[in-house]
Every structure is written in C-alpha cells, then in structure tokens.
Structure 1
Amino acid sequence: MKQRILTGVIAAALFLPIVIYGGMPTVILAYVLATVGLYELLKMRKINFLSIPGILSFIILWVIMIPKQYQGIWSDFYYSKIELAILAVFLYLIYTVITKNRFTFDDAAFCIFAAVYAGIGFYFFYETRAAGLVYIFYSLFIIWATDSGAYFLGKAFGKRKLWPEISPNKTVEGSLGGVICALIVAVLFVIFTDIDAALLELMGITAVLSVFGQLGDLVESAFKRHYNVKDSGNILPGHGGILDRFDSLIFVWPLLHFFHLL
C-alpha cells in the first residue's frame, strides 16, 4: 500500500503541473503515455516493439496523434491520416506474405487496433486540455469518483456480480454506486466551476461517461485475462502499467468531444 501511495504522489507531481501548463508539454506527455501504452499492448501479444510490425505500429500511433494545428503538413503532400492508415494496412498484409504467415492476419489486425486504441484515447487527452483545464479535471474527478464509489459501495453492498468472467470482483451494486458518486461530482462542478453546461445536461453526460469509463476498465481487464497477464505493465509500481491507470479515460476523453461538451 505504501508503494502504491508513493507512486501515486510522484506520478501526480509529474502529471499535474504539465497538464496545468498545457500547450506543447501536454502534447509531448500524451505522446509518451500513448507510446508506453502501445508498447504494453504489443508486449501482451508478444510482438517485439523493434520488429517491423512493432515499428509500423508506433508510426501509425504517432501519425494518429498529430495535433490539429500540424495536420496541414500532410495536406502539403496531398495525403490525409486515413490514406496513410490504408497504406499501413497494405504493408501489414504484405508482411504476412513475406513471413509466410509467421506474422498472421490476426497479428496484423491486433497491431492496427492497438495503435488506434491507444492513439485515439491520448489524442483526445490533449484536445480536451486545449478546450480548457476544467474539462481535464472534470474527467479525472468523475473517473476517480466512479472508481472509488464502485470499490467502497461494492464492498459494502455488492451481492450480484457484474461480469465475473472478466472481472470477478466487480458488482452491479458497486457499478451503480460509482455512477451515483460521479453524478455528485457533476453537481459540484456546476456549482463551483465555470464548466459550460447546465446541471441536467451535465448529469446526463456524466452518467454516460461513468458507465463508459467502467466499460473501458472492463476492456482492459478483458485484454489482460485473454493474454494471461496481471497488469498491462510495471512502469508504475503498485499500480501496474499506463493502460491500467488510463483505461477508463481512454474511453471518456473521446466521448467528451462526441457529446460536444467542449
């Protein structure tokens, strides 16, 4: 427990000042987090990150994450992110032939999916920060409230298992408790911050984000169960890997933009 608390304090001391400052340091932080997250996914699949498929995955990731203000670079060459992604798909498929199916179609699909999964989540991390610091804190607090509420209320009142095949300790009661705690945070943000949303609107959005945050957590649990690993990585002692800490937020940040909250 001491190690978990110490890691959390150190991580917060590094993470929060960069996020508060914003701008290019936040973009760099997002790139670092996404790169480590993709490395963790490739490691689960036992794909060497220095192999051709691994390097290609990182290139796809970094292209996906190019900030809006720099996307004009590609238009100068008459290419878009979508066209570059299609090229990457062809290269993966060609590589399956070159390796005589030692690198399979399933491996190619995993590499592409992993890059998109990590890339989109962290791309919207710095896009959310660009929209305003209040939205970053809103997303962090509703996920912390959801996780804490699900844990403590689930422990106190939980009886019915939510999804035992994937995460045996989660309960339906805990999940509902997490949503309720997130809604309390939404009310506090309307009262005490300048977040641009009416109370009922924000509560509706918060309920959906809380549910999807829990689904993001379950998705990561499903990855780990499928590949028989305890944590996605060990970069954060006591917490696991980057994906273990950001699995819910990877789902939440894009949805903030989907709901046009920003």
Structure 2
Amino acid sequence: MKTRIVTAVVAAALFLPIVFYGGLPVVLLTYLLASIGLYELLKMRKLSLFSVSGLLSYLLLWVILFPSQYQDVLAYLNYSKMELGIAMVLLLLTYTVITKNRFTFDDVAFSVLAAVYVGIGFYFFMETRQAGLVYIFYSLFMIWATDSGAYFIGKAMGKTKLSPEISPNKTVEGSIGGIVCAMIIAALFVFLTDIDATLWSLLGITLFLSAFGQLGDLVESALKRHFNVKDSGKLLPGHGGILDRFDSLLFVWPLLHFFHII
C-alpha cells in the first residue's frame, strides 16, 4: 500500500502540472504515454518493438494520435490521417509476405487493433484537454470515484460476481456502488464548477461513462488473462503499467465526445 501511495503522489506531481499547462507539453506527454501503452500490448503478444512490424505499429499509433490543432501540417503534405493509416496497414500486411508468414495475419490484426485501441483513447485525452481543464478533472475524479466506490462497496456488500471468468474479485454490488459514487461526483461538478452541462444530463451521461469505464477495466483484464500476465507493465510500482492505470479512461475520453458533453 505504501508503494502504491508513493507512486501515485509522484505520478500526480509529474502529470498534473503538464495537464494544467496544456499545449505542446500535453501532446508530448500523450505521445509518450501512448507509446509505452502500445509497447505493453506488443510485449504481451511477444511482438518485437525493435523490428519492421514494431516500427510500422508505432507509425500507425503516431498517425492516429496526430492532434487536431496541427492538422495544417498534414494539409501541407496533402495527406489525411486516414490515408497515412491505410498505408501503415498495407505495409504491415506486406510484411507478412516478406517474412514468409513468420509475422502472420493474426499479428497484423493484433498490431493494428492495439494501435487503434491505445491511439483513439489517448487522442481524445488531448481533445478533452483542448476543450478545457474542467473536463479532464471531471473524467479523472469520476473514474477515481467509480474505482474507489466499486472496491469499498464491493468489499463490504459484494456477493454476486460481475465477471468471474475475467476478474473474479469484481461484484455487481461493487459496480453499482461505483456508479453511484461517480454520480455524486457529477453532481458536485455541476454545482461547484463551470462545466457546461445541466444536473440531469450530466447524471445520465455519468451513469453510462462510469459503466463503460468499468468495461474498459474489464477489457484490459481480459487481455491480461488471455496472455497470462498479471500486469500490463512494471513502470508504476504498486500499480503496474500505463494500461493498468488508464484502461478505464481510454474508454471514457472518446465517449465524452460521443455523448456531446464537450
């Protein structure tokens, strides 16, 4: 527990000032976090980072991450993100032939989906920060409340397993408790901040975001169980890897835009 707390304090001390500042430092931080996240996924699959396929996977990720405020660069090159992304996928498929199927179609599918999974989530982190600090803090506090509520209420009252095949310790009662705690946070944001949402709309959206945040957690748990690893990485002592810390938020940040809260 002491290690978890120390790691959390140090990580917050590094993460929050950059988020407050915004701009290019947030872009650089996002590229760093997403690149580590993709490394963690490729390592689970035992795909080499230092290879042609690894490089192409990273190029695809970096294309997906390319921020909207710098789109003029792509316009100058006369290419779109979609065109560059398609080029990376075609090159990955071509690599299966070059390697005589040592790098398989399944490996291509995993590499592409891994880049999309990590890239979309972190891309919308940048978009959320661009919309305003209040939305970043709403997402962070909402997920922290969901996780804490699910843990403590599940420990006190949990009886019905939520998904025993994937995450044996999670319970339906804990999940509902996490959603309730997240909705309390949402109400506080309506009354105490300038978030652009009414009470009832934010409560309704928070219900879905909290539930989908828990699904994001289960998705990463399913990945780890499939590849028989305990944590996605070891970068954060007591917490695991980058994906272990951001799995819920990778689902929440895109959905903030999907639900038009921003």
> For this structure pair, what is the TM-score category when the shorter chain's length is used for normalisation?
over 0.9
Secondary structure at the aligned position of 1:50 is classed as coil
5+ long unaligned stretches in structure 2:
none
Between the aligned partners of 2:35 and 2:86, the Cα distance in structure 1 is 21
* Counterpart in the other structure of 2:164: 164
Distance 1:21 1:69 in 2: 16
Per the alignment, residue 251 of structure 2 pairs with: 251
Q: Using the alignment, how far apart are the partners of 2:28 and 2:89 within structure 1? A: 26
Q: Is the 8 A contact 2:40 2:233 kept in 1?
A: yes
Letter in 1 for 2:63: V
Distance 2:132 2:71 in 1: 21
Q: Is the 8 A contact 2:59 2:88 kept in 1?
A: no
Distance in 2, Cα, partners of 1:25 & 1:98:
38
Q: CA deviation at 1:82?
A: 1.0
CA distance in 2, matches of 1:200, 1:240: 36
Offset, 1:75: 2.2
- Runs (4+) of structure 1 moved beyond 6 Å? none
One-letter amino acid of the counterpart of residue 195, structure 2: I
CA drift at 1:179: 0.3
Q: How big is each residue's C-alpha offset from its partner over 1:177-204, in whole Å with a ceiling of 9 and x where there is no partner?
A: 0000000000100110110000000000
Task: Return the alpha-carbon distance in structure 2 between the equivalents of residues 20 and 199 of structure 1.
Answer: 25
Using the TM superposition, give the Cα deviation of residue 168 of structure 1 relative to its aligned residue in structure 2, in angstroms.
0.4
Point out the more displaced range, 152-161 or 71-80.
71-80
Which whole-Å CA distance do the structure 2 matches of 1:15 and 1:70 have between them? 22
Does structure 1 residue 145 correspond to structure 2 residue 145? yes
Q: CA–CA distance in 2 between the matches of 1:93 and 1:135?
A: 39
- The residue number in structure 2 matching 1:215 is 215
In 2, the alpha carbon distance for the partners of 1:123 and 1:89 equals: 19
In 1, Cα distance between the equivalents of 2:184 and 2:71?
39
**Following TM superposition, by how much is the alpha carbon of 1:121 offset from its aligned partner in structure 2, in angstroms?**
0.7
2:34 is equivalent to residue 34 of structure 1:
yes
**TM-score, normalised on structure 1?**
0.99
Provide the residue aligned with 1:101 in structure 2. Answer: 101
Q: 1:188 corresponds to which residue?
A: 188
How many Å apart are 1:126 and its aligned residue?
A: 1.2
Shift of 1:63: 1.0
Amino acid at match of 2:197: A
Matches for 1:124-135 after TM superposition, within 5 Å: 124-135=124-135
Corresponding residue for residue 67 of structure 1: 67
Q: CA offset at residue 134 of structure 1?
A: 0.4
Q: Secondary structure at the match of 1:71?
A: helix
Q: What is the correspondence of 1:14-53 to structure 2 with a 5 Å cutoff?
A: 14-53=14-53
Task: Work out whether residues 212 and 252 of structure 2, in 8 Å CA contact, stay in contact via their aligned partners in 1.
Answer: yes
TM-score (norm 2): 0.99
CA distance, structure 2, for counterparts of residue 107 and residue 90 of structure 1 = 13
The percent identity for this pair of structures is 72
- Residue 235 of structure 1 aligns with an amino acid whose one-letter code is L
Aligned residue-pair number: 262
